[in-house]
Structure 1
């Protein structure tokens, strides 16, 4: 079994008088993560699943007396799919405030729903963590560096969701099922998406232009929708951990692009499932974009797993000078260009280095990704 890197982080934050909330996409192993966590602490645990109708009904209006009867002598309350409970924020707040010997652990697959319900109620009462598909660092630790080097093309095509890693023979089937049945389950169930066919058109359009700047007005014209609907649906995709956005970086250069965005998927396997393109890398013309998405998504996992606060950007000027990735940690800047072709002559534009002379710069090929994605 692959050990998740954040396990020690989570263990260190239990029984500190706060709830522990685990967010992330569906099917990334949140329940398994909590089971590994519970096995380490060996405490009497009450398990509730927010998908169960009777649980939702019985906890629709939580109060201290009812909760006390429910908890009994349990030391841990594990709420799976917590976003499905109507008053989950109030429920957790009562337990944290009134039942101080009980540790609440809750998982949720929809940030837009769970975070909205817990943030006001649980200010100062929770630790929060995001669990994403397996990271490069976790996979290297489980096997070894050379194995992951050999499997890079497979990772670009099929990604690193736990089910795909554990059963690679049926990876394509797993990904199609995930993309068709699970990815948008919360959005459709809550009727946040009034036009499912339009929603799917937007998702596919984004998957076909990873690595490119997204013009929301042009995208709206492409899918024959108004821009407000496109904005809303992309926001929902972000909140349900399907995609994330990189804004444009700007500072000292007059002709820098300031308003545009790039949108990336958390997992390249999902990109290919949406576009139904599982062709080998040698037969594809989008490998550069896939590699860029892979590297930026893996860097996002690295930052999350190491609790590093950083802002992520891309950079471009109106003269088409560009940099794939800019990272800002406090006052430090890192500029990175990714190159799939080892022979290509990528470089950081002089305009950028002159405007931001203290910036660390990297040109990373596929064989050099370990320095960027793994603990050194």
Structure 2
């Protein structure tokens, strides 16, 4: 990210007036699907349009994606930047259409189009700070649903939840599925199969992530079953003590933690299957990214998983450890089933690309600009 270009605040890449501004506060996030989505959409819109600029707080300059024209705005970086300094800049520079790609929008600005992935702060307030919950509620109510504002979400399941939560017509909310083609495809032949089956999953904190499900499934199996679980991503610190309390031998769980995109792609590529046990999601990038690498997917039976995975995955009740353990054994013991699920995975993932998502966003922006 070393060759991003600062541009005039009033003209775009080719000297044309800036008609579209992107809220760049998302660049301050450390990791996660929201950051992935916002970055991918921003990079592609910047290549597709010459009337666009990314507005960033001072602390995000070194994170601007390569090739994206940007302008540094204000002096702060948190809610004050987003709710005060950003809208003031917009009003001083002709009130361009503001694109908010990361769940939060200024309360007091009308010309904007925003994405809201889910209603997690309403469903699980314990997972969010009080300040964030207040900002989120005000942002959706006053920054996304008033006249002159447009709201986008990433799934039909989320559209229904947002509409019910805020009492609006679901048809006011556009659905744009996300992409799954960020991770690099490994080259060469796959490594030789391991003697033990390895089920890869994420170890994120938060009750809705249901990360303990894979541990509970292991506990249902005999201690000598040749089945291991590998946790990737930022790990909930309570997982390891929980596994020990469940009597899981240390060698049966691999605690990988944070990994690079290349390492994550490799984990998906060699996995016996990817396990996605969430109780609730707005979309769910990891199972689709795993599918693109050919991993069979075992997913919790919730509406969003059915929407994006269809018949390409095997499902289990999210809180039924015995059902997941049974799938561990079935997939481990049946090479033909693994091959068929891998084939279905690749076919399904082909339908989710970031360029397709960016094309939809570009069309929505053009419609708003008239």
TM interval, short-chain normalised: 0.3 to 0.5
